[in-house]
Amino acid sequence: MTTLEFKDVTKRYRIRGTGDFLALDKVNFTLTSGKTIALVGQSGSGKSTIAKILTQLERATSGEVLLDGKPIPRRGRALRSYRQQVRMVFQDPFASLNPYHTIRHHIERPLRLDKVVPNEEVENEVYRLLERVRLEPNDVIDRRPHELSGGQRQRVAIARALASRPSLLIADEPVSMLDVSIRLGVLNLLADLQRENNLGVLYITHDLATARHFSDEIMVLNRGVVVERGNADDVILNPQHAYTRELRDASPNPDKHFAAPGTTSPRS
Amino acid sequence: MRFFLRRTAFYLFTAWAAITINFFLPRFLKGDPVSAYIAKNQGLISPDAAAALRTLFGLDKNQSLLEQYISYWKLLLSGDLGRSFSKGLAPVTDVIASALPWTIGLVGIATIISFVIGTTLGAYAGWRRGSKADALIPITTFFSTVPYFWLGLIAIAFFATTLGWFPASHAYDKGASPELTWDFIGQVINHGTLPALTIVVSSLGGWVLGMRNMMVTVMDEDYVTVAQAKGLPPRKVLINYAARNAVLPQLSSFALSLGFIVGGTLVMELVFSYPGVGKLLLDATNAKDYPLMQGLFLIITLTILVANILADVAYAILDPRTRQSEA
Amino acid sequence: MTQPETAVMAAVADPAPRTARKQTPFTKFAQAFSMFRNGKSITGLCILGFFVLVAIFGDLLAPYGPLDKDFSALRQGPSSTHWLGTTHMGEDVLSQLIYGTRGVLVVGFAAGIIATLIAVIIGVTAGYMGGWKSESLSAITNVFLVIPALPLMIIVASQYENPSLLLIAGVLALTGWAWGSRVLRAQTMSLRNRDFVQAARANGEPLYRIIAVEMLPNLIAIIASSFVGTVTAAVLGLTTLAFIGVIPITNLNWGTILFWAQQNGAFPDFWWWYVPAGLCIALLGMALSLINFGIDEYVNPRLRSAGERAREMRKKGIKVTSSVTAVRTTPTSGTQPDDGAASAPRHASPAVDLDAVTPVAPPAPANPDDTTAR
């Protein structure tokens, strides 16, 4: 049972010339293993800043991030062991894999870095991980990212995130760059893995429909402030905050399109 | 605004660095040729000029390096670059000033001609990509990899000595003196044709290639496709849509290349015995005329700096996007 | 935009049985040099290889010693005993040319290696660091960009009675690294914010591994091109210095041959004395430029595909300069919706293979798009 706690986390960016920009304003939430929280908001609302602070690509300006009650270590072995617990799947599978390296390299590295398995076991573990994300290992292991489809790449990225056997997973809009027809497949895979590994997942998205379907709790973020949170169904069916209603009404509703022919189909 | 402030700070820093390098350069010289020269010409050098030379070359051992540096700056700001040993102790500034117009005239005109022809050819080669126009690239590249001076020597051997079409050296006929008459202007053009031609031929390749590659990239842009779809005549699309955007980087390279007018074709002037800045620097080097060398180096560096400023300004005026991003 | 044959059509749900291509040290090696795998680069490399062989086996190839004097044949034109004639001292021009190759290549490559090392260290560090460290490194780079190379070389070289080859190479490198450093800095800055670098950081990869393993391989094409560029500049610089006579004549290279030829009135009559040396410089320069053209096309595939596509279209009798009209007149275009520019062929997306691979460029770093780099 792992718990990650955001306590009054504030992030301020220094922007030269125009003054400061407040990206996050006293954000609080708790992510526990076995549960999925959806973080919903428009672009620019601060979703990705939360992901960056969680992965320690950036540090919070003030407030605390606690893993099992302990603050995130600043450096060294302790930081590495934090990173081993909290992994992230990036939004764009075309950018998050190094075009120069093979799939093997991408999955092998975290295994060796965190010494998850003994060296002679690494090869088998890579195969096992690829199978878990429903890829045919022999088929992809020696390929480079540009030889795979977007869906395949995102599966590789998920396998990489799982390699260190984390207890918490951040998925930053994991399907927004994929074709509509394969999104469900990737999301279902994430849901399966979440159940099998009892992962705590922070699902960052702007798509309310999938947020409701795949998560237990929804948190709505607007300009760095959490404006609404609660049980997934409640937030969607009975939004309290005007911003949430706006978001809901802005998302495509299939019924409306049948009612009004000629409207353009929603684009991802 | 921020952009301009940053650039200004950058240029001030670079200018300061260049001048400081110029201050230290002669202090690394082996031996002490300057005091030897001053001692030898005791009566000929006025005390003032000798003092200036001491400051420029750090001969005053009583002064600390900082004091030397400060008096060096004072001297520069008053426009005194010392006296030239090899030119009868004439002030270095005067010597350079007399050579500068020749270089700027010859190389400047040649650079402009080369830029115009090269860019036009490049635009054509990019427009008609995949056709016979592609053959332009290897031909012009060949001439740009040939060393300047060798091409100049061949040109002299062929056009001057064998065919006798043009004079082989100097800027005007022997015995003539610079004056504003048609006869003299004719002489200057006659003497300048061969060196200018050599510069144009050997620098054409860069312009052709740069413009061609930009054209090919721009031709893939949607606005060019849209312009064609609207049914605009090809000529109009070529000039108003494709070439207009492709030429932007060319213009900034052109501004940069202006900086190399003064210092870029030293050897060309040697081959043609052209009385410009390059020949002056080579003569100064051979004669161990250190004040002149130092002065020329400073002038050449500052010209390149000014050209960089021009390139920046040109780009900022032509392409507003650069103002936001850092160059 | 790239050729469709690079696409691998495979759906996740139904992976076609395919044997994995095994990664051997050889394929890894080949991949590192994939930017040379095109006609232009290969031609350039062959010419360069020829000169390298001449430089290595100069002693065996040269019919005479470079300074052997044959007083019975002074200023003689090409003959069966002296293929490229003789100098005013009766020295064999061909032998001087062969021995001179070594001097040119050693200095050129040494300068290229030193300059590239400086450029990579300064450029990549400045690009990765950010903040005042990056600013000050780029300020230094810019100062070196402004300092005129040739005059500085002349002034420095004239300080030494007998400058060693390494010193000459060092001065050539010192004045030649800045451009490459600037391009590398820009490219590193754009790489630094790519997701795959962020992912490596988030995984806890150490800094040296992020730079050496994740970033450098993606910079190889640019590093190679800046290396080739500095070698070209160094060869021209060396021969120029030798021609002016700043470099002592004991250091035999092609520039020295031209220096002697000019000093001893070879122009214009004794063409065999001065033409071959100049042509050798041009040929070597051409070879290096060809290598760089190939790398350019690898980095920016549009440069290559543009010519190929245009030729293709011309074969079909379509005018390249009016691509849109061309689409409408081809038989297949009748079925396409006529909505202006969007129906141009390169915009058509494969609607059937939704999860199929989008044709993508080879694993090249994105085009630097740094217009100032031209």
What confidence tier does B286 reach under pLDDT thresholds 50, 70, 90? confident
Query: How many A×C Cβ pairs under 8 Å?
Result: 112
Mean pLDDT value across residues A225-246: 84
Decide if C374 and B162 are in contact by the 8 Å CB cutoff: no
Question: Does A148 map to a domain?
Answer: yes
Task: Please judge whether C303 and B216 are an interchain contact, meaning their C-beta atoms are less than 8 angstroms apart.
Answer: yes
Does some domain include residue A221? yes
Q: How close does chain C come to B44, measured CA to CA in Å?
A: 27
Residue in C closest to A98 by C-alpha: C196
pLDDT of amino acid A147: 85
Measuring CA to CA, how many Å separate B141 from each of B37, B138, B146, B154? 47, 5, 9, 18
Q: What is the DSSP letter of B83?
A: B
**Segment (H or E) for A9:** strand A3-15
Q: How sure is the predictor about C357, in pLDDT bands with cuts at 50, 70 and 90? A: very low
Give the span between the Cα atoms of B86 and B88, in whole angstroms: 6
- Could you count the other beta carbons within 10 Å of the beta carbon of residue B36? 10
Lookup result for tokens 């004040």: B291
CA–CA min distance A167, chain C (Å): 14
pLDDT at C217 over 80: yes
pLDDT at A265 over 70: no
Q: Is A154 on the interface with C (CB under 8 A)?
A: no
**Is residue A194 situated within a structural domain?**
yes
Pick the residue of C134, C150, C247 with the most B CBs within 10 A to test the interface with B by mutation.
C150
When pLDDT is cut at 50, 70 and 90, the band that residue B326 belongs to is very low
Give the one of A96, A135, A138 whose C-beta lies nearest to C195's C-beta: A96
Indicate the pLDDT class of residue B116, thresholds 50, 70 and 90: very high
In chain A, which residues have their Cβ closer than 8 Å to the Cβ of C12? 134-135, 149, 151-152, 155, 182, 185
In this prediction, residues B307-316 reach a mean pLDDT of 78
Residue B319 has what pLDDT?
A: 65
Polymer length of chain A: 268
pLDDT at C32: 65
Higher-confidence position of C349 and B24: B24
Q: Residue A203's pLDDT is what? A: 92
Q: How far is A241 from chain C (nearest CA, A)?
A: 34
Distance CA C144, CA C7 (A): 44
Q: What percent of chain C has pLDDT over 90?
A: 6
Q: What is the mean pLDDT of chain C?
A: 72
In a domain, A238, yes or no: yes
The pLDDT value given to residue C111: 92
* Within-domain flag for A260: no
Per CB distance under 8 Å, which residues of C are interface residues toward A? 8, 10-13, 15, 18-23, 31, 194-196, 198-205, 214, 217-218, 354-358, 360-364
Chains in touch with A (≥3 Cβ pairs < 8 A): C
Shortest CA gap C46–chain B (Å):
17
* 3-state DSSP assignment of residue A12: strand
> Between B and C, how many residue pairs show a Cβ–Cβ distance under 8 A?
177
Average pLDDT over residues B192-221: 85
Tokens representing B122 are: 């490049």
Query: Distance of alpha carbon A52 from its chain centroid, rounded?
Result: 10
Q: H helices of chain B, where? A: 2-24, 33-40, 47-57, 65-77, 92-127, 136-145, 148-155, 182-219, 222-229, 234-236, 244-263, 266-271, 277-286, 290-318, 321-324
Q: Pick the residue with more confidence: B164 or C179? A: C179
pLDDT recorded at residue C362: 36
Among chain A residues, the shortest Cα distance to C33 is held by: A100
Place of tokens 């004097």: C69
Check whether C5 has a pLDDT greater than 90: no
Q: What is the dihedral of CA A75, A76, A78, A83, to 10 degrees?
A: 70
Least confident stretch, A49-58, A160-169, B289-298, C343-352: C343-352
Q: How confident is the model at residue A228 (pLDDT cuts 50, 70, 90)?
A: confident
Selected residue of A54, A84, A92, A100 to mutate for chain C interface (largest C Cβ count, 10 A):
A100
Which residue spans within chain C are E strands per DSSP? none
What's the gap in Å between the CA of C52 and the closest CA on chain A? Answer: 30
User: Quick check: is A125 in a domain?
Assistant: yes
Residue B54 in this model has a pLDDT that exceeds 80: no
* Phi, psi dihedral angles at A19 (to 5 degrees): 90, -170
- Mean pLDDT score across all residues of chain B: 79
| Domains present along chain B, CATH in parentheses | 98-288 (1.10.3720.10)
CA-to-CA dists, residue C45 to A258, C54, C149, C219, C294, angstroms: 63, 14, 27, 20, 10
pLDDT-based confidence at residue A57 (cuts at 50, 70, 90) = confident
Domain of A119?
3-251
Between A241-250, C164-173, C316-325, the lowest mean confidence (pLDDT) is in C316-325
CA distances, A46 to each of A53, A205, C25 (Å): 11, 12, 45
Instruction: Taking residues C281-302, report their average pLDDT.
Output: 83
Chain C residues touching A150 at Cβ < 8 A: 355, 358
The closest CB to that of B129, out of C282, C320, C344, belongs to C320
Rounded CA-CA distance A140/A148 in Å is 8
Subunit contact C267:B161, Cβ cutoff 8 A: yes
Of the residues B134, B153, B277, the best mutation for testing chain C's interface (the one with the most C CB atoms within 10 Å of its CB) is B153
Query: Which stretch of B15-24, B290-299, C60-69 has the lowest confidence by average pLDDT?
Result: C60-69
Give the gap in angstroms from C-alpha B130 to the nearest C-alpha of chain C: 4
Dist. CA A69–CA A71, nearest whole Å: 7
pLDDT at B61: 63
- The CATH number of the domain where A79 resides is what? 3.40.50.300
Please check whether residue A259 lies inside any domain of the structure. Answer: no
Of A225-229, B237-241, C264-268, give the lowest mean pLDDT range: C264-268
Nearest chain C residue to B150 by CA: give it. Answer: C278
* C335 has a pLDDT exceeding 50: no
On the question of pLDDT at A213 being above 80, the answer is yes
Average pLDDT taken over every residue of chain A: 84
Mean pLDDT calculated for residue range B46-75: 74
Per residue in A156-201, pLDDT tens? 999 999 998 999 999 998 888 888 888 888 999 999 999 988 999 9
Q: Which residues of B touch C344 (CB under 8 A)?
A: 225, 229
Does some domain include residue A178? Answer: yes
Identity of the amino acid at C254 = W
Chain C residues near residue A48 by CB distance under 8 angstroms: none
Beta pairing partners, A202: A37, A170
CA distance C329 to chain B (A): 13
Pair A56, A83: CB distance under 8 Å: yes
Higher pLDDT, B321 or A257: B321
Nearest residue of chain B to residue C143 (CA atoms)? B14
pLDDT above 80: residue C327: no
Q: How confident is the model at residue C275 (pLDDT cuts 50, 70, 90)?
A: confident
What pLDDT, in 10s, does the model give residues C124-157?
Answer: 988 888 778 888 888 888 888 888 877 887 777 7
At residue C59, the pLDDT reads 81
Q: To probe the interface with C, which of B129, B142, B150 has the most C CB atoms within 10 Å?
A: B150
User: Which 232-251 residues of chain C touch chain B by CB within 8 A?
Assistant: 232, 236, 239-240, 243-244, 246
Q: Tally the domains of chain A.
A: 1
Across the interface, whether the CB atoms of C240 and B149 are under 8 A apart is answered yes
- pTM exceeding 0.80: no
Q: Is the peptide bond before C268 cis (omega within 30 degrees of 0)?
A: yes
pLDDT computed for residue C237 by the predictor: 86
Q: Do A155 and C12 touch (CB under 8 A)?
A: yes
Confidence band, pLDDT 50/70/90 cuts, at residue C122:
very high
Q: What pLDDT does residue C304 have?
A: 65
Least confident of A175-184, B162-171, C225-234, C269-278: B162-171
Q: Is the pLDDT of residue C331 over 50?
A: no
Measured at the CA of A171, the angle between CA A165 and CA A176, to 5 degrees, comes to: 145
Distance from CA of B197 to the nearest CA of C (A): 18
- B228 vs C371: CB contact, 8 Å cut-off? no
Predicted pLDDT at A106:
92
Give Cβ neighbours of residue B305 (< 8 Å, ≥ 6 apart): B11, B14, B15, B18, B259, C146
- Cβ-defined contact of C12 to A181 (cutoff 8 Å): no
* pLDDT for residue A126: 92
User: Is residue A258 over pLDDT 70?
Assistant: no
A167 versus B3: the higher-pLDDT residue is A167
Comparison of pLDDT for A153 and A240, the residue scoring more: A153
Nearest CA in chain C to B228: C322
Q: What is the dihedral of CA A213, A214, A216, A220, to 10 degrees?
A: -80
